[in-house]
């Protein structure tokens, strides 16, 4: 038997590629021709639509472009995260709309994830009543149209008593047809610095946890993370806050005349939209969580129970980390759905990007630009969610060695 071995470069090179023949029987030539043909047809359709649109706009003497963004809006907006008044530009008004949309999407995703996870776990509970209640919630909430649910919550909130007869379930908290009033603090620059320190502390805690986990893999000795996390995420902001004078002035809402003054307000439009989106999306997330948990082999539960672990501890430390690999991909779709469904806010009067952009295009006549702005905003938010979730899914995926 010869001891000589083949050159690995020759083995990996494979058979030589033959040149493309100028014949319709050559499949590679056919593939190139069809691709050129399809691209040409699509390009021709796009060019025809664009030229036809430009011609129609010129005939009707409708100006095009985004120059209108610098004009005074004259558009009243009920709530905004940044300073705004009708004398500001359309660009500022649209920015307020984007921030209002993000306020719904971000808070809604967090609350829907928490509520959906709890309901999904409750459906698998060994308690008959808890399991049936969770199943009833899932079946009912998913079978009702979202728009109908939004109108339902908004009607309930509008049916609450006025400010003088407002519900007061907890001291300092008032619920009326004007929305919800909550206690707050007088926000000063010191609080901005403390918040920045908390973010820096969270990043430091994450880095410390990674370093300690690497050491545990090296020597097998577990290390506590919470003391450092407590110091960085609580102690550091407190030190920064104290260094700036430790300002703390509570702002408690109180009835003044026909409405409340002070505190922080949650409008009935925002409250109804958030309730509808969270409760509706949580029904779908619950089923995703339930399916992910059941996808984990039953032997994992039995082995952990044989070691004396409690059911809650098994779920937290063994089952859920494995179930995430099944949960995360479909969960991304629900986050995207919640964000896009927030465009129904216009039905109950919440001024998000759709509402403000619609008013803008009605005032300026820039319909194409207005629709393009709405599409760009939702495309950007959706792509950001997808990129983040794909990154997270890649991090928790099993890696073959």
Which domain CATH number covers 320? 1.10.3720.10
* Per-residue pLDDT tens digits for 188-247: 888 889 899 999 999 999 999 888 888 888 887 878 888 888 998 999 999 988 888 888
Q: Are residues 41 and 139 in the same domain?
A: no
Count of the separate structural domains present in the chain: 2
Which range has the top average pLDDT, 133-147, 164-178, 356-370? 133-147
Which of 138, 157, 156, 98 shows the shortest CA–CA distance to 279?
Answer: 138
What does the alpha-carbon distance between residue 387 and residue 336 come to, in Å, rounded to a whole number?
12
What does the alpha-carbon distance between residue 322 and residue 313 come to, in Å, rounded to a whole number?
14
Residue 16 scores a pLDDT above 70? no
Q: Are residues 57 and 118 in the same domain?
A: no
Q: Are residues 50 and 152 in the same domain?
A: no
Residue 139 lies in a domain: yes
In the chain, the N- to C-terminal Cα span, in Å, equals 34
Q: What's the pLDDT at 262? A: 81
Q: What's the pLDDT at 1? A: 45
Q: Are residues 34 and 146 in the same domain?
A: no
Residue 2 scores a pLDDT above 50? no
* Per-residue pLDDT tens digits for 58-79: 777 766 778 888 989 888 888 8
> By the 8 A CB rule, do 167 and 176 touch?
yes
Q: Are residues 41 and 171 in the same domain?
A: no
Domain that holds residue 173: 114-186+249-354
Q: Are residues 44 and 138 in the same domain?
A: no
Q: Are residues 151 and 43 in the same domain?
A: no
Residue 136 lies in a domain: yes
Residue 140 lies in a domain: yes
* Per-residue pLDDT tens digits for 240-280: 888 888 888 888 888 887 778 888 888 899 999 999 999 99
145 versus 61: the higher-pLDDT residue is 145
Rounded to an integer, the average pLDDT of 363-381 is 90
Reported as a pLDDT band with limits 50, 70 and 90, residue 398 is low
Residue 337 lies in a domain: yes
Residue 89 lies in a domain: no
Q: Are residues 56 and 160 in the same domain?
A: no
> By the 8 A CB rule, do 236 and 201 touch?
yes
Q: Are residues 34 and 182 in the same domain?
A: no
Residue 155 lies in a domain: yes
What does the alpha-carbon distance between residue 265 and residue 280 come to, in Å, rounded to a whole number?
24
What does the alpha-carbon distance between residue 281 and residue 335 come to, in Å, rounded to a whole number?
8
Q: Are residues 45 and 173 in the same domain?
A: no
Rounded to an integer, the average pLDDT of 343-362 is 91
Q: Are residues 269 and 336 in the same domain?
A: yes
Residue 374 lies in a domain: no
Q: Are residues 279 and 167 in the same domain?
A: yes
Residue 373 lies in a domain: no
Q: Please write down the HEC assignment for all residues of the chain.
A: CCCCCCCHHHHHHCCCCCCCCCCCCCHHHHHHHHHHHHHHHHHHHHHHHHHHHHHHHHHCCCCCCCHHHHCECCCCCCCCCCCCCCCCEHHHHHHHHHHHHHHHHHHHHHHHHHHHHHHHHHHCCCCHHHHHHHHHHHHHHHHCCHHHHHHHHHHHHHCCCCHHHCEEEECCEEEECCEEEECEECCCHHHHHHHHHHHHHHHHHHHHHHHHHHHHHHHCCCCCCHHHHHHHHHHHHHHHHHHCCCCCCEECCEEECCEEECCEEECHHHHHHHHHHHHHHHHHHHHHHHHHHHHCCHHHHHHHHHCCCCHHHHHHHHHHHHHHHHHHHHHHHHHHHHHHHHHHHHHHCCCCHHHHHHHHHHHHCCHHHHHHHHHHHHHHHHHHHHHHHHHHHHHHCCCCC
């Amino acid at each position: 038997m010869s001891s000589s071995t083949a050159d690995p470069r020759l083995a990996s090179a494979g058979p030589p590629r033959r040149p493309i023949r100028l014949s319709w029987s050559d499949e590679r030539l056919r593939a190139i021709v069809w691709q050129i043909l399809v691209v040409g047809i699509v390009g021709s359709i796009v060019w025809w639509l664009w030229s036809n649109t430009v011609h129609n706009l010129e005939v009707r003497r409708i100006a095009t472009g985004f120059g209108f963004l610098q004009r005074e809006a004259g558009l009243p907006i009920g709530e905004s995260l940044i300073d705004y008044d009708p004398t500001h530009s359309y660009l500022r008004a649209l920015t307020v709309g984007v921030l209002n949309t993000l306020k719904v999407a971000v808070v809604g995703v967090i609350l829907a994830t928490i509520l959906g996870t709890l309901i999904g776990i409750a459906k698998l509970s060994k308690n008959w009543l808890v399991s049936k209640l969770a199943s009833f919630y899932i079946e009912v909430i998913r079978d009702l149209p979202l728009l109908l649910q939004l109108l339902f919550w908004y009607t309930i909130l509008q049916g609450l008593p006025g400010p003088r007869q407002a519900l007061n379930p907890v001291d300092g908290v008032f619920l009326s047809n004007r929305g919800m009033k909550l206690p707050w603090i007088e926000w000063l620059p010191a609080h901005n610095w403390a918040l920045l320190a908390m973010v820096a502390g969270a990043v430091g805690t994450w880095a410390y946890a990674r370093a300690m986990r690497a050491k545990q893999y090296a020597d097998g000795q577990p290390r506590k993370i919470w003391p450092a996390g407590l110091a960085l995420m609580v102690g550091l902001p407190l030190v920064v806050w104290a260094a700036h004078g430790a300002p703390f002035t509570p702002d408690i809402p109180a009835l003044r005349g026909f409405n409340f003054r002070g505190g922080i307000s949650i409008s009935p439009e925002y409250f109804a939209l958030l309730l509808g989106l969270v409760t509706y999306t949580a029904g779908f997330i619950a089923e995703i969580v339930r399916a992910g948990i059941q996808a984990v082999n039953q032997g994992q539960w039995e082995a952990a129970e044989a070691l004396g672990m409690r059911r809650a501890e098994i779920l937290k430390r063994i089952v859920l980390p494995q179930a995430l690999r099944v949960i995360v991909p479909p969960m991304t779709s629900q986050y995207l759905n919640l964000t896009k469904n927030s465009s129904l806010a216009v039905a109950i009067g919440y001024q998000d990007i759709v509402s403000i952009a619609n008013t803008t295009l009605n005032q300026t006549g820039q319909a194409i630009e207005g629709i393009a702005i709405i599409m760009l905003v939702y495309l950007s938010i959706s792509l950001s969610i997808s990129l983040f979730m794909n990154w997270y899914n890649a991090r928790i995926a099993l890696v073959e060695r």
